[in-house]
Structure 1
């Protein structure tokens, strides 16, 4: 699964001022991150505001990214939810010919037990025609996939190839790295601790800041994987303030403000999300201008 070692980016869905999907801006963003040197693209993740997209809009986003990518990088599709039967149905009926894997979030809101999480991903693994990256993000799901559950899944289902670990807990990440089977990918889901996770033995990141500053962030990840620690941390500390800022008032409102500063898209988000305030917008614009 070398295709998913390095930097993946969770693509936003740009909107026009009238809140419709901005296809032209999405094409620009795809080209921008590819030219910036990232290793793969994640389609319809949380950062894409997928929860606010209609089924027609989701297909438009997929079609646009697949066409713009033109086979240049591996694509990962977000397929997850808190209704296991619905997720399984999508896995059995969707055309995955353009995708190399899926990213599937641990069920949210229901707050299943560890056994419930295991059974959910057992069903996902058995239904998926492509490799599965499970996604642990307790801040959004209200439940934490414990390392024991993840390792159990990794050992029992060969098509569960990795985890996007976004608990923000470096000790938990290290337990995963320590106990994982050979070849299983521990992928950071937290931009700020990506480098420490890589140096501890992680495989890379699925990033938000890497979408705004792909050249710098993907180079940091490559340096980390090469164990060039001082060079990697030099880039990390150059970007650290921007990582804090893009999440300060919610994702993807922060990264969309960066894209506005870069001239790639509007900063429009859909309710219940709102734009960052004027103070944060000014700070993000200033940082982007200085870095670029």
Structure 2
């Protein structure tokens, strides 16, 4: 699907909490200068609060702007497979290049259930699927053997976004997976070690703010220039981590608003970044000369 950096983009809102499509267009064009893919309506895009009409318009708008320059991957996950299938149809209809599908949350699953769940979904779409493992949000973990079994059973499952945070688990996955199976970091601060192990890139929150720098980091790793990658990673690691000082995407929405690409508005149950959080991000922007 892609090697390098895919930005899990924010969804801009206006003062009435409506999707700001003009801001979305400006932000997508900003991202297009640097990154290798765009991920629309993931966690960072506040997907749980986006209704079906908004979802269709957002996907069609981004696909139109990108115009096949890079892949557009749509987050379609849910804990109800029928909702996933409906979201997949909207993505297919509006020209998406791939799907990012999180493991079911709240009702959760066994490992056997995960295989059946993703197989059921994969059999009902022709679009490429990236599995999404994020136990901190779902309460469940896609174990390496399970991810590989799902990949082996479904030709359109092409890889996994690994956000378990467990480098040992990721190392086990990469060392045992088929060569064709793609592995992306779901944590910016683990992009370097994951890619050094043989992963393909990162699905990034940090690149909402600094896409050029994250692209330089992933390019350096892919080109074997680990010294340069280490320098970039060490410089920006603190911002990568502090963009999660409160629940994502609260801090990154504030950070992008400081760049002028959106308003600092999130939808409930999220609320805007605390004053202490703003002070922290402001200080890092100053120290890193971002503005």
SS at structure 1 position matched to 2:123: helix
Which runs of no fewer than 5 residues in structure 2 stay unpaired? none
Q: How does 1:133-282 map to 2 (within 5 A)?
A: 133-282=130-279
Q: Is the 8 A contact 2:74 2:91 kept in 1?
A: no
Alignment of 1:291 onto 2:284: no
Pick closer, same or farther for the CA change 1:90–1:208 going to 2, 3 Å. closer
Q: Structure 1 pair 291/72, CA: closer, same or farther in 2 (3 Å)?
A: same
Contact 1:102-1:132 at 8 Å conserved across structures:
yes
Is 1:59 aligned to 2:56, yes or no? Answer: yes
1:13 to 11, 14, 18: 11
How many angstroms apart in 2 are the aligned matches of 1:90 and 1:277? 33
Structure 1 residue 88 and structure 2 residue 85: aligned?
A: yes
CA pair 88-59 structure 1, distance change in 2 beyond 3 A: closer
Partner of 1:109: 106
- Cα offset, 1:101, TM superposition: 1.1
Contact 2:63 2:94 in 1 (8 A): no
Mapping of 1:58-77 within 5 angstroms?
Answer: 58-77=55-74
Which piece of structure 1 moves more, 80-89 or 133-142? 80-89
Relative to 1, partners in 2 of residues 1:275 and 1:235: Cα closer, same or farther, differing over 3 Å? same
Deviations 1:74-94 (CA, angstroms, capped at 9, x unpaired): 111111111123323443565
TM-score between the two structures when normalised by the length of structure 2: 0.95
User: C-alpha distance in 2, partners of 1:73/1:111?
Assistant: 33
CA deviation map 1:88-134 (0-9, x unaligned): 34435653462221111101111210011110001111111111111
Tell me, which stretches of 5 or more residues in structure 1 are unaligned?
none
Q: Mapping of 1:117-136 within 5 angstroms?
A: 117-136=114-133
Partner deviation per Cα, 1:136-173 (whole Å, 9 max, x = no partner): 00011100011110011112212110000000011111
Give the structure-1-normalised TM-score. 0.95
- Contact 2:59/2:94 (CA < 8 Å) preserved in 1? no
